[in-house]
Structure 1
Amino acid sequence: MSDDALFHELDAYLQTVKQHLADKQRRRLSRQLAAGLRQRQQKRINQQKNPDGTPYAERRRATRRTQGGIRFIWNNDVRELRNWRNSRGRGGRMITGFDVERGALRSFFRADIERYLSIDINKTTKTTQRKDKMFRRLRTGRFLRMSVQSDGVEVGFSGQAAAIASVHQYGEMERMGRSRVQYPARELLGLSEADVDWMADTIVEFVQPS
């Protein structure tokens, strides 16, 4: 059954029930449905699954190219980076690598480097893929909001969070720097048949408590 059919089926059921409830009861039921529905959406996002149960498309693998070592003069000081690579920041092109003196990963704008002392151009290529779950922040209550009225409920995103979620929900393109990136569709929100069954059971239990 399609999402549209599920929505229409549930809406028709709600309209029937609503006629037999007082306004205060409708609000109580709406609040219960909204909280439960948000929790189910959050659980599914945490499981990295679409509403139909299929897993989210995997993250794109990133290819990182690095080079041996580089020594240069910066701010009248000799700096040495290991495992360095060219990178880019908002202020322009940079060199990023492990700073031997500071013992940490650092970046230097190339325009600020006074003179290069030695450069090891031996290159290595490594393909990596992030293992942490996607949309960890979006699924929190701060961004996945619920709205309750006596005649209905809404669970979703707003503002900038909605714009970000929409790109992934529908598999849209987004500008990243000078290029455009096509994202695969990953449905953060949606009703499954199990969701509709749960809501129907919740309504029946509310109207006819055991």
Structure 2
Amino acid sequence: MSDDLTAIETWAGALLAQLQPGQRRVVTRKIAQDLRRSQAQRIAAQQAPDGTPYEKRKQRKNLRGKKGRLKRQKAAMFKKIRTQKNLKIEQDENQLSVGFLGRVARIARVHQEGLTDKVSRKGPEYRYPARPLLGFSATDQTLICDSLLRHLSAF
């Protein structure tokens, strides 16, 4: 995987070096937006970068609250974490990054690496299974190349 990224970096670096700094900033912004959209769609599909599905949530033991009511467990994980508010873009004319900041970054790191964390502020600790939120897939690499070529063909 790192060899593929190095090859893309070398190829794209030569093309980007020919552009003015303002044009590079526009290109990296567009690529970063495309990457963020791709990552958000993959998180919504509940898949790791390699295409494997996330491990299912642990079932709650007590699903009944008040008499006659059944608490329903939400099916989709990471609904709010994949929004533009939380999945941030940082870029300039030479580099770009897509990731999480602040408290959301801590939560994302726990799930990305499968660490132990408290379920709630005063609750018990739980070892979360590794659910990689961010990462490069083969489609992301082709997305970068296509986005760069699309922008360069407009000139």
| Shorter-chain TM-score tier | 0.7 to 0.9
Match of 1:154 among 60, 72, 97: 97
Letter in structure 1 aligned against 2:77: M
Match in the other structure for 1:191: 136
Match in the other structure for 2:39: 41
TM-score using structure 1 length = 0.66
TM-score using structure 2 length = 0.87
Query: Higher strand proportion, which one?
Result: 1
Letter in structure 2 aligned against 1:146: I
Query: Do 1:59 and 1:130's aligned partners in 2 also have CA atoms closer than 8 Å?
Result: no
CA distance in 2 between partners of 1:178 and 1:28 (Å): 46
Kindly provide the CA deviation profile for residues 54-99 of structure 1, in whole angstroms up to 9, marking residues without a partner as x: 1111001111187xxxxxxxxxxxxxxxx6xxxxxxxxxxxxx45x
1:44-83 matches, cutoff 5 A? 44-64=42-62
1:129 shift after superposition:
7.6
Query: Do 2:63 and 2:72's aligned partners in 1 also have CA atoms closer than 8 Å?
Result: no
In structure 2, the CA distance between the partners of 1:65 and 1:201, relative to structure 1 (3 Å rule), is closer
Structure 1 or 2, whichever has the larger Rg, is: 1
Match in the other structure for 1:170: 113
**Uncovered stretches (5+) of structure 2, i.e. residues with no partner:** none
Match of 1:203 among 145, 148, 153: 148
- SS at 1:63's partner residue? coil
1:89-100 matches, cutoff 5 A? 97=66
Percentage of identical aligned residues:
30
1:136 shift after superposition:
0.3
In structure 2, the CA distance between the partners of 1:42 and 1:61, relative to structure 1 (3 Å rule), is same
What is the number of residues matched between the two proteins? 153
Match of 1:9 among 4, 7, 11: 7
Kindly provide the CA deviation profile for residues 21-62 of structure 1, in whole angstroms up to 9, marking residues without a partner as x: 111110110111011110001111111111111111100111
RMSD over aligned CA atoms reads 2.5
**Uncovered stretches (5+) of structure 1, i.e. residues with no partner:** 67-82, 84-96, 99-104, 106-125
Query: Higher helix proportion, which one?
Result: 2
Q: Could you say which structure has the greater relative contact order, defined with CA pairs below 8 angstroms and 6 or more residues apart?
A: 2
CA distance in 2 between partners of 1:54 and 1:29 (Å): 31
CA distance in 1 between partners of 2:105 and 2:48 (Å): 17
1:209 shift after superposition:
3.5
1:81-120 matches, cutoff 5 A? 97=66
